[in-house]
Amino acid sequence: MPTDPIVGTIASLMPRAKQELAELVAFQSVADWAQFPKSESEAAANWVADALRTEGFQDVALLDTPDGTQSVYGFLPGPAGAPTVLLYAHYDVQPPLDDAAWISPAFELTERDGRWYGRGAADCKGGFIMHLLALRALKANGGVPVSVKVIVEGSEEQGTGGLQQYAEAHPELLVADTIVIGDAGNFRLGLPTVTATLRGMTLLKATVNTLGGNLHSGMFGGAAPDALAALIRVLDSLRAADGSTTVDGLASDAVWEGLQYPEADFRADARVLDGVELIGDGTVADRLWARPAVTVLGIDCPPVVGATPSVHASAGALISLRVPPGVDVTEAIKLLEAHLVAHTPWQARLELEVVGQGQPFQANTDSPAYASMRAAMKVAYPGQEMQISGMGGSIPLCNTLTTLYPEAEMLLIGLSEPEAQIHAVNESVSPEELERLSVTEALFLVNYAESKRG
């Protein structure tokens, strides 16, 4: 067992951490005012700001970002000459989806089978609690050895870019020597992992129009162009027969050289039904971390219940395209738009709207910060070595920060291991993982400060 006093301190702080996470999870902070009131997000932002003030942070501020949400900022000065570390998390969450499918209420932290369940428990309200635990442990064991900036975003899940735009307009605000993004996760529960690459993403709304209004399918079907049928053909063109993403002109054959993801493990993590094939070719790691991936997120059309015998005049879809490192998302959007236009049948009218985007990210894993993190994880996870993986998801802020601060080192850690089921119903966090990653972050800050003094 590790003997570092920080380990014991964080263990003693876990009951408080559970209570605080319960308070934070209770806010229905979905940054979509059509689904949840803006006041819920504002209340969550104020809770985060109050927590920073309680920990002695200075210059705590609610930043009104261009997308209409608030990010929370605070600064904790360290010893003279110490490096500055920026800690990131986000307090906004995904919608709960089907409330009835949650075993316990989505916005009520509930302990069950050794895990804590609730929307945002892992992604990423738990990430903010992780930062608090690490800093509290350091204060109880000689003090925080670095200056710390904390930024907690309010619209990361919506991909509307408010914090990125704010940072670009105020580049001095988040300047740091190294950046810890607390919004990733271990490759496997109990396997310490730093994420080194992220796919970029774009959200594109496509609307197909063919008629001045719906028509009776018996009187007009067979000659009248059906917008829903046209949309289905357009969407089907985005995949090859094996399910691989096919956007004209966009390469989809890259290979991932690092940590691999065994297919049996992936099937279990993704809860793929028996007998159902995985899609695409290459290794699972290739498909998740090195290649583009298209997903149809939703379709605007009549539901089955209440449907009438009609030829449809209009239909729409929201399309997500994940873009691997090395591909510029702006160019990928142009290719996706051109593909959709080229594959729209019957000269149907196609309207396209980009509603969100973010560039991919790739870290420098040879930096001193990675050595400091490796040593910290060795203590927090006895008998384990730090792993470096990719992540198929997107954190658009990472590329913004890399552009603004090219000399800053960046590491991605967090609580979103496979069992957490983030973005799905019954999201949960492992309290043991929260404890160990809090230890990791605290020891990382100690190691990093020492590396800079050396």
Catalytically active residues are: 92, 156
3-state secondary structure the chain: CCCCHHHHHHHHHHHHHHHHHHHHHCCCCCCCCCCCCHHHHHHHHHHHHHHHHHCCCEEEEEEECCCCCEEEEEEECCCCCCCEEEEEEECCCCCCCCHHHCCCCCCCCEEECCEEECCCCCCCHHHHHHHHHHHHHHHCCCCCCCEEEEEEECCCCCCCCHHHHHHHHCCCCCCCCEEEECCCECCECCECEEEEEECEEEEEEEEEECCCCCEEHHHHCCCCCCHHHHHHHHHHCCECCCCCECCCCCCCCCCCCCCCCCHHHHHHHHCCCCCCCCCCCCCHHHHHHHCCEEEEEEEECCCCCCCCCEECCEEEEEEEEEECCCCCHHHHHHHHHHHHHHCCHHHCEEEEEEEEEECCEECCCCCHHHHHHHHHHHHHCCCCCCEEEEECCCCHHHHHHHHHCCCCEEEECCECCHHHCCCCCCCEECHHHHHHHHHHHHHHHHHHHHHHHC
**CA 44 and chain centroid, separation:** 18
Q: Which two tokens stand for residue 379?
A: 């203590």
Dihedral of CA 38/298/97/241: which sign?
negative
